[in-house]
Structure formats: structure tokens, C-alpha cells
Amino acid sequence: NRQLPQNPPAPVQQTQQNQQDDQINTIVEEKIVKSSGETIVKRYLKGKFLGKGGFAKCYDFTSLETKKVLAAKIVPKASLTKSRAKQKLMSEIRIHRSLHHTNIVGFEHFFEDQVNVYILLELCHNQTLNEMVKRRKRLTEIEAQCYAVQIISALKYLHGHRVIHRDLKLGNLFLTDKMQIKIGDFGLASKLDFEGEKKRTVCGTPNYIAPEILEGKTGHSYEVDVWSFGVILYTLIIGKPPFETSDVKTTYRRIRMNAYSFPDHVPISEEAKALIQLILNLDPTKRPSLDEILDHNFFHMGNTIPRLMPASTLACPPSAA
């Protein structure tokens, strides 16, 4: 009558669990205890690895109950020992789950087991604009218009709900199988408690960060997203972020001095240039509003802006036809 150890030493258990986390085609169970005391179990098949962020790893998850395929952001609880990290994740969940818009990654559901927190999101099959621009080198202005309209639509919704995203960049602009843009990753987002409130926490991604966040004197608000939108528009059309250098300090210095230019060898319309220059204003109060951006000539150049681009443009420019 051999006795198996009841409690294997904790570090061993942790290692085994970590190995398990990297396995695909395993079943993840969500246990729900109902008010009656009855426990129900929902099972998900953990499939393909989709990508990795700061703390999270992302996999496709198929609900065995509904057959629905989702993206699961898996955050190990071991990475949430500091109360700040836990608060950040809770804030991300609280903000993201309250948002419902065609151009924002849908928040399905979240749950936890002993080792991880699982955030189930709408699956975006076609990666992000970052991979697309890398593959294509740069996009055409028609594509930039098409994506810009969708991004502005999501931003109008966010700002209308007093949410600042604060980390807008190509890598957080996901593409669905229908080639719809979805803004994702609300890890740095902030919900204002009242209109006019200013935020002070330094956050954002070096290339896309607004100058007033770097200065940190006055506090910042919605205009930081407008700045990042300007950086995104430049990057889509030119193929490289405007302030990019090989080290972060120099990039920050360039942002504070507003030192960027349009390279001679890349074609760009006067309208696109003018809009980017209007947006990349060091003074946040002088930046255009989202409606003023949509009214700009860049969006009224005589062509019809396609609602969606064909999937062929993931790898090749749209045909002129």
C-alpha cells in the first residue's frame, strides 16, 4: 500500500506547472461555484501560441461547450505578487470589459485557476499593423485612410467614455479575418473620474509617447492618444516612426524638440503631411480634436475611402484597379 506524497515540494510543482503552461493542445478548466453550492466546469482547448507581451502569453482557446474560438491572454499569478501588478491587471480588466465597439477587441470573459488569470478576448486572426507594415515596408495612403477612420472611430468611443488608451501603437492595432481594425491591450489605459481630470503616471511606448508625458509637469489627458495617432499615421505612410533612433534617450530628446522630418525618397501627399504636422504639436491644447481630424483634407481627397481592405493587402499593396 504505497503512499504517494500528498504535497510535493512547492518549487517542483511550480516548475512542472510552468512547463505545462507552454504546452498546447491541453485542456484548461474553469470551475464556477454557483450560489446553490453546485460546481460547474467549463473546458477550453488551449491551441496555437499567438504571441507574448509583458507578463502575458496569448493562445487560441476553443470553448468545448460553445465551440467558439477565442484568444486567451494568460497571466501567471506568480507575476502578480506585487500589489501594483495586481492592481494594473484588475484595472485593465475593469476598463476593457466595459467597452463595446466594432473597432475595439471584444472582451468575452475572465477567470482564474490556482496558477493563472485567463482573459478571453475576441480572436484577431491577422496579427497587428506592426507585422503588416514590416512585411509591406509601408502602406498606401488609401490604406492609411481606411485604417485611420477605424482608429478614430474607436478613439471617439473611448474618449466619449472617459477612457484614455495611452499605449496606442501599431502593435496594439489588431486585424481580424475580415481585415477590421481592433484596438487592443488596455494595460496602460486610464478612466478619468471626472471630465478635466489630469493624469500624471508616466506610461506609453517610447516611439509613440507624447511630449507632455515626458515633461510630466502639467499632467496629461486625451490629447496623448491624438499624438500617438499622429505617430501611427506617419509610420503607416513612411514605414518608420518619426522619432525613432537606436536609443530611447535620443528618441525622448527628439520628441521633446519635435525633431522629425519627411524623407525625400518616400512619396507622401501634401494633405497627409499637413495633417501629421497639425497633430504632432508639442502643445496638447493646440492638437486637433478627433472630429477636426476627420474633417481634414486628408480624408477628403476625392477618392472613396474603402470600408475594409482585401486580405491580399496583408502581403501586397492594393491593386490600382
**Cβ atoms within 10 Å of 274's Cβ, excluding its own:** 13
CB of 90 to ligand ADP, least distance (A): 14
Decide whether 128 or 153 has the Cβ nearer to ligand ADP: 128
Residues 24 and 47 sit within 8 Å (Cβ to Cβ): yes
Would residue 167 show up in a list of annotated catalytic residues for this protein? yes
CB of 185 to ligand ADP, least distance (A): 4
Decide: is 121 part of the binding site for ligand ADP (CB under 6 A): yes
Query: Strands across the sheet with 69-76, in order?
Result: 26-33, 39-52, 57-63, 69-76, 116-122, 107-112
Tell me how far apart the alpha carbons of residues 198 and 232 are, in angstroms, rounded to a whole number.
24
Decide whether 121 or 255 has the Cβ nearer to ligand ADP: 121
Binding residues: 73
Q: Which of 56, 175, 181, 232 binds ligand ADP (CB under 6 A)?
A: 56
Rg (C-alpha) for the chain, rounded Å, is: 22
C-alpha cell at 119: 482573459
Number of residues that bind ligand ADP (CB under 6 A): 20
Query: Which one from 167, 177, 247, 295 is the annotated catalytic residue?
Result: 167
Site string for ligand ADP, 74-113 (x = CB under 6 A): -------------------------------x--------
Q: Which of 28, 58, 74, 173 binds ligand ADP (CB under 6 A)?
A: 58
Decide whether 91 or 269 has the Cβ nearer to ligand ADP: 91
Phi, psi of 205 (to 5 degrees): -115, 130
Question: Which among 16-24, 179-187, 264-272, 295-303 is the span making contact with ligand ADP, rule CB under 6 A?
Answer: 179-187
Tell me how far apart the alpha carbons of residues 287 and 201 are, in angstroms, rounded to a whole number.
21
Residues 296 and 165 sit within 8 Å (Cβ to Cβ): no
Decide: is 314 part of the binding site for ligand ADP (CB under 6 A): no
Decide: is 280 part of the binding site for ligand ADP (CB under 6 A): no
Site string for ligand ADP, 7-46 (x = CB under 6 A): ----------------------------------------
Q: What is each CA distance from 279 to 130, 226, 227, 264, 290, in whole angstroms?
A: 21, 7, 6, 21, 10
| Residue environment code for 38-60, b if the CB has 16+ CB neighbours within 10 A, otherwise e | eeeeeebbbeeebeeeebbbbbb
Which positions touch ligand ADP (CB under 6 A)?
Answer: 50-56, 58, 71, 73, 105, 121-124, 171, 174, 184-185, 187
State the catalytic residues: 167
